[in-house]
C-alpha cells in the first residue's frame, strides 16, 4: 500500500510529474510520501504526513531524467519519515518503491543483516534494495540484479527500482496492480491510471511476473525468462478532470449526487421496457445452478443483496466475506458460479477468493467498476457497473450501481422471460433518486442527532443489507459507533444497547408482512425511549412511532433498498460534516485495499 508513480523522458519536468502523480493517487488514502530522482547520484526526499509536507521539503531542487514516487499506507512499522518510500540500499545507489506485502522479509532481512547490510526502517520493502545491492556487488547488471532480487521474494508486490547511474526504471508485479502509461516521448508507470492520466490515456496493463523496463521515454516488457512480450496498448476513457469535486466540498457529496447519472449509465442499452427484457452481452448463455458471492466491505453488502435477489428468483445463492472464503471456502455444486464484487477490481481478499474458486474449476464473474482491472482479467466473465471513478474512500454511488447490476444479473440468470415490472422500476430509479436528492431532510436529521452516543440501523429482507451499509457508512466517516441488524435480531441481544441516546434508523417500505414485522420491532425500540428515524415510503404506519421521517418514493420492493440507502448516505455525510471529519479520507482507511 498504497500508490506508485514513475516516469522517464520528461527531462526537467520529472519532479513535477511525480508530484502530480502522487496527487492523483491521494484518493487511495496514505500516511506518508516520497520521491527519488536519478542523475548520476540518487536524490531522495520523503516525509510522513500529507503531500504538502513533501512538497515543501522537496522544493524545486531535485532534477533527473528518471524518477519514482510513492504514497504509503502503513502495514509494517508506523508512519514515519524513515518508513516512507523510496527505500535505499547501504550505498544509497539503489532506490525502490513497493506496494504489497513481502511475506518472507524477516528471513531475508536476517540473511542480509548477517552479510553486513544495515537497515534504516521497519518496513518489509527495505530488503529489496539490499538484495539488488548484493547482486550488483557480485557484478550483475542492474536488470540481472533486479531479477535476482525479485526471485527471492514471496508475497505480493508491485515494485519499481532506479539506480544512480542508469537512466532506467525497472518494475514488476505479483498480485498487486501496476500499469504503464505510454506518452509521445515519455513513459510512465503507476499502480493506478489516474496518477498519469493528465499526461496520457494510452496504457499497457502488466500481468503478474511481467518485467517492465522504462528508459529514455521508451518501454519494453519481458517475461520472467527475459523473453520480449508483445503487449497491446489500450486507451482509457476516464477523464483526469473527473477527479475534481465540481463545486462540492467533498467528493463524497459529489458522488452521492452523481447517482442518477451513474444509474442511467449502468442501465444504458441493457433494459428494454417494451419487451420487458434485460440483456447484458457479457452474461449471455450464463445459467448456473447456484451462485456464491465473494466480497468485502460495502461490496459485501451489495453481495448480500444480490444473493437474496437470486434466492427470490429461485436460484440457490449465498454471500461470503472474501477474506474468510479465501481460506475456508464453502462447498460448491456442479455448474456453480462465483461472483466477485469489487469496486476497484483489485481488492486483494476478493481476488484471493476468486482464485480459490478458479483453482476448484468453478466459473467466475467479476462485478466491478474498473475496466482492465485484475479481477476483469482473471475472471471468466465481467459485469461492469459503469459508475465512473469514485474518489471518496467511503463507497456511495458504486453501491447503488452494484445493487442495480445485481438485478441485471438475477434477471439474466433466472430468465423468467418477462421482467417488465422490474425493468419499469429500474428505468424509474434514476429519476426517483433525483427526486429524493431534491427533497431530502437528511441534513436536519443529522443535525438533530449529531451528538448521540451511537446509531443503530435495522431492516428486514432486502433492507437488511441496507441496515448494514447504513451503519458502515456512519462508522467509516463519522468515527462514531454504529451497528446494523436484521430487524428481527434486535431483540435477541442488541436491544440491550438501545437507550434514549441511541437513535434507531428503521428501513421500512411497502405494507406487506415484512413491513408489519419491522414496524413491530420499531415499537420495541420506541418503548425503550430510543428515538426512531423511519426511512420509509409511507405505505406502513412506521412513521407513527418515529421522531423523524426520511421519505423515499414508492417503488418495486426489490428496488427500494437503493433509495433507502441514499437517505442513509446523506445522514452519514451530514453527521460527519457537522463533526468536521476528514470525509473523503477517513483515518486508517484506504480506497482500494490491495493487501490481504
Partner 1 sequence: MTVRAAVVLAAGEGTRLRPLTRNRPKPMLPAADRPILEHVFDALISAGIERLHVVVGYKRDRVQDHFGPTYRNLPINYVHQDKQLGSGHALLQAREAVDDEDGFLVVNGDQVIERRMVADVLAAFEDDDASATLAVTEQADVSHYGGVVMDGERVTELVEKPDTDDYRLLNAGVYAFAPTIFDAIAETPRVQGELALTDTLVRLIEAEADTVDNDVAVRGVTTEGLWVDATYPWDLLDVSRELLLDARVTEPEREESVWVADSATVHDDATLQGPVVVGPDTEVRPGAVVGPFAALGRNATVGENAVVAESVLDTDARVGPNATLLDCVTGQGVSLGANSTVPGGPGDVRVDDRVFADQRLGAVLADRVTAEGSVNVAPGTLVGPNATLHTGVTVSENVTEYAEVFR
Catalytic residue set: 2, 591
What gap in Å lies between CA 34 and CA 86, rounded to an integer?
6
CB of 278 to partner 1, least distance (A): 14
CB of 245 to partner 1, least distance (A): 7
Our CB check for partner 1 shows the closer of 170 and 262 to be 262
Reduced to 3 states (helix: H, G, I; strand: E, B; else coil), residue 224 is: coil
Our CB check for partner 1 shows the closer of 135 and 384 to be 384
Cβ atoms of 472 and 298 within 8 Å: the answer is yes
Interface region with partner 1, contact rule CB under 8 A, candidates 26-34, 280-288, 429-437, 488-496? 429-437
Interface region with partner 1, contact rule CB under 8 A, candidates 211-219, 238-246, 298-306, 521-529? 238-246
Cβ atoms of 94 and 105 within 8 Å: the answer is no
Cβ atoms of 535 and 550 within 8 Å: the answer is yes
CA torsion sign, 380 to 224 to 327 to 469?
Answer: negative
Binding mask 378-417 for partner 1 (x = CB under 8 A): ----------------------------------------
**Does 110 interact with partner 1 (rule: CB under 8 A)?**
no
Half-sphere exposure of 99 (CA within 13 A, CB side): 33
- All three cell numbers of 94, joined, read 539503489
Q: Which of 50, 111, 272, 541 binds partner 1 (CB under 8 A)?
A: 272
Interface region with partner 1, contact rule CB under 8 A, candidates 209-217, 223-231, 255-263, 459-467? 255-263
Instruction: Count CB atoms within 10 A of the CB of residue 154.
Output: 13
Judged by CB under 8 A, how many residues of this single chain contact partner 1? Answer: 30
Q: Which of 40, 116, 269, 331 binds partner 1 (CB under 8 A)?
A: 269
Q: Judge if the upstream peptide bond of residue 2 is cis by omega within 30 degrees of 0.
A: yes
Please report where in the chains the cell 464473474 appears, as a residue.
365
CA torsion sign, 240 to 244 to 247 to 252?
Answer: positive
Q: Which of 85, 254, 386, 585 binds partner 1 (CB under 8 A)?
A: 254
Our CB check for partner 1 shows the closer of 268 and 492 to be 268
**Does 434 interact with partner 1 (rule: CB under 8 A)?**
yes
Our CB check for partner 1 shows the closer of 224 and 244 to be 244
Q: Which of 40, 59, 116, 247 binds partner 1 (CB under 8 A)?
A: 247
Quote the Cα angle for 323-314-347, to 5°: 20
- All three cell numbers of 503, joined, read 437513535
Our CB check for partner 1 shows the closer of 93 and 369 to be 369
**Does 202 interact with partner 1 (rule: CB under 8 A)?**
no
Cβ atoms of 91 and 125 within 8 Å: the answer is no
**Does 437 interact with partner 1 (rule: CB under 8 A)?**
yes
Q: Which of 29, 34, 194, 260 binds partner 1 (CB under 8 A)?
A: 260
Nearest of 453, 478, 483 to residue 468 by alpha carbon: 483
**Does 245 interact with partner 1 (rule: CB under 8 A)?**
yes
Our CB check for partner 1 shows the closer of 440 and 521 to be 440
- All three cell numbers of 386, joined, read 459503469
- All three cell numbers of 594, joined, read 490491495
Our CB check for partner 1 shows the closer of 332 and 583 to be 583
CB of 99 to partner 1, least distance (A): 27
What gap in Å lies between CA 402 and CA 298, rounded to an integer?
10
**Does 56 interact with partner 1 (rule: CB under 8 A)?**
no
Helix ranges, 284-338 (H): 297-312, 322-325
**Does 243 interact with partner 1 (rule: CB under 8 A)?**
yes
What gap in Å lies between CA 203 and CA 237, rounded to an integer?
11
**Does 257 interact with partner 1 (rule: CB under 8 A)?**
yes
What gap in Å lies between CA 263 and CA 405, rounded to an integer?
9
Longest pairwise C-alpha distance within the chain: 81
**Does 438 interact with partner 1 (rule: CB under 8 A)?**
yes
**Does 258 interact with partner 1 (rule: CB under 8 A)?**
yes
CB of 254 to partner 1, least distance (A): 7
Our CB check for partner 1 shows the closer of 364 and 407 to be 407
Cβ atoms of 7 and 14 within 8 Å: the answer is yes
**Does 80 interact with partner 1 (rule: CB under 8 A)?**
no
Cβ atoms of 187 and 136 within 8 Å: the answer is no
Please give the C-alpha separations between residue 410 and each of 159, 280, 382, 422, 564, in angstroms, as whole numbers. 40, 11, 15, 11, 21
**Does 239 interact with partner 1 (rule: CB under 8 A)?**
yes
**Does 65 interact with partner 1 (rule: CB under 8 A)?**
no
**Does 539 interact with partner 1 (rule: CB under 8 A)?**
no
Element housing 136 (H / E) = helix 127-137
Our CB check for partner 1 shows the closer of 257 and 381 to be 257
Interface region with partner 1, contact rule CB under 8 A, candidates 250-258, 302-310, 500-508, 573-581? 250-258
Applying CB under 8 A, which residues contact partner 1?
Answer: 239, 241-248, 254, 257-258, 260-261, 264, 267-269, 272-274, 427-428, 430-432, 434-435, 437-438
Amino acid at each position: 500500500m498504497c500508490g506508485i508513480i514513475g516516469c522517464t523522458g520528461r527531462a526537467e519536468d520529472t519532479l513535477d510529474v511525480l508530484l502530480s502523480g502522487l496527487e492523483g493517487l491521494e484518493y487511495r488514502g496514505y500516511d506518508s510520501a516520497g520521491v527519488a530522482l536519478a542523475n548520476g547520484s540518487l536524490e531522495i526526499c520523503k516525509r510522513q504526513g500529507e503531500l504538502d509536507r513533501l512538497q515543501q521539503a522537496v522544493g524545486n531542487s531535485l532534477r533527473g531524467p528518471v524518477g519514482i514516487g510513492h504514497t504509503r499506507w502503513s502495514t509494517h512499522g508506523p508512519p514515519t519519515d524513515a518508513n516512507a518510500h523510496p527505500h535505499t540500499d547501504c550505498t544509497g545507489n539503489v532506490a525502490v518503491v513497493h506496494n504489497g506485502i513481502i511475506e518472507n522479509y524477516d528471513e531475508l532481512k536476517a540473511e542480509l543483516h548477517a552479510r553486513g547490510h544495515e537497515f534504516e526502517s521497519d518496513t518489509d520493502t527495505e530488503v529489496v534494495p539490499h538484495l539488488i545491492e548484493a547482486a550488483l556487488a557480485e557484478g550483475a547488471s542492474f536488470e540481472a540484479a533486479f531479477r535476482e532480487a525479485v526471485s527471492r521474494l514471496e508475497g505480493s508486490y508491485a515494485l519499481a527500482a532506479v539506480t544512480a547511474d542508469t537512466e532506467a526504471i525497472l518494475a514488476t508485479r505479483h498480485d498487486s496492480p501496476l500499469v504503464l502509461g505510454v506518452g509521445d516521448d515519455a513513459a510512465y508507470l503507476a499502480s493506478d491510471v489516474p496518477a498519469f492520466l493528465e499526461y496520457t490515456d494510452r496504457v499497457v496493463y502488466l500481468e503478474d511476473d511481467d518485467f517492465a523496463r522504462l528508459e529514455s521515454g521508451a518501454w519494453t516488457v519481458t517475461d520472467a525468462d527475459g523473453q520480449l512480450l508483445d503487449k497491446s496498448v489500450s486507451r482509457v476513457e476516464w477523464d483526469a478532470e473527473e477527479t475534481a469535486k465540481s463545486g462540492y466540498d467533498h467528493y463524497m457529496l459529489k458522488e452521492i449526487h452523481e447517482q442518477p447519472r451513474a444509474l442511467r449509465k449502468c442501465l444504458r442499452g441493457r433494459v428494454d421496457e417494451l419487451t420487458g427484457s434485460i440483456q447484458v452481452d457479457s452474461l449471455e448463455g450464463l445459467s448456473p445452478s447456484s451462485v456464491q458471492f465473494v466480497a468485502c466491505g460495502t461490496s459485501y453488502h451489495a453481495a448480500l443483496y444480490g444473493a437474496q435477489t437470486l434466492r427470490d428468483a429461485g436460484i440457490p445463492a449465498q454471500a461470503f466475506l472474501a477474506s474468510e472464503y479465501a481460506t475456508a471456502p464453502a462447498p460448491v455444486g456442479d455448474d456453480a458460479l462465483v461472483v466477485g464484487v469489487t469496486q476497484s477490481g483489485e481488492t486483494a481478499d476478493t481476488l484471493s477468493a476468486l482464485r480459490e474458486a478458479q483453482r476448484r474449476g468453478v466459473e467466475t464473474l467479476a462485478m466491478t467498476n474498473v475496466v482492465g482491472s485484475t479481477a476483469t482479467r482473471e475472471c471468466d466473465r465481467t459485469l461492469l457497473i459503469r459508475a465512473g471513478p469514485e474518489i471518496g474512500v467511503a463507497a456511495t454511488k458504486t453501491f447503488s450501481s452494484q445493487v442495480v447490476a445485481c438485478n441485471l444479473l438475477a434477471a439474466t440468470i433466472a430468465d423468467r422471460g418477462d421482467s417488465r415490472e422490474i425493468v419499469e422500476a429500474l428505468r424509474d430509479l434514476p429519476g426517483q433518486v433525483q427526486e429524493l436528492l431534491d427533497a431530502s431532510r437528511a441534513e436536519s436529521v443529522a443535525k438533530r442527532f449529531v451528538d448521540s452516543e451511537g446509531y443503530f440501523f435495522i431492516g428486514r429482507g432486502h433492507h437488511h443489507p441496507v441496515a448494514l451499509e447504513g451503519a458502515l457508512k456512519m462508522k467509516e466517516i463519522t468515527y462514531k459507533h454504529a451497528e446494523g441488524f436484521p430487524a428481527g435480531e434486535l431483540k435477541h441481544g442488541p436491544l440491550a444497547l438501545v437507550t434514549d441516546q441511541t437513535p434507531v434508523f428503521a428501513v421500512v417500505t411497502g405494507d406487506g408482512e415484512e413491513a408489519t414485522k419491522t414496524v413491530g420491532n420499531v415499537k420495541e425500540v420506541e418503548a425503550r425511549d430510543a428515538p426512531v428515524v423511519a426511512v420509509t415510503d409511507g405505505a406502513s404506519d412506521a412513521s407513527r412511532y418515529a421522531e423523524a421521517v426520511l421519505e423515499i418514493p414508492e417503488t418495486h420492493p426489490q428496488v427500494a433498498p437503493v433509495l433507502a440507502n441514499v437517505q442513509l448516505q446523506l445522514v452519514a455525510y451530514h453527521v460527519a460534516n457537522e463533526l468536521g471529519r476528514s470525509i473523503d479520507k477517513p483515518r486508517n482507511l484506504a480506497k482500494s485495499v490491495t493487501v490481504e
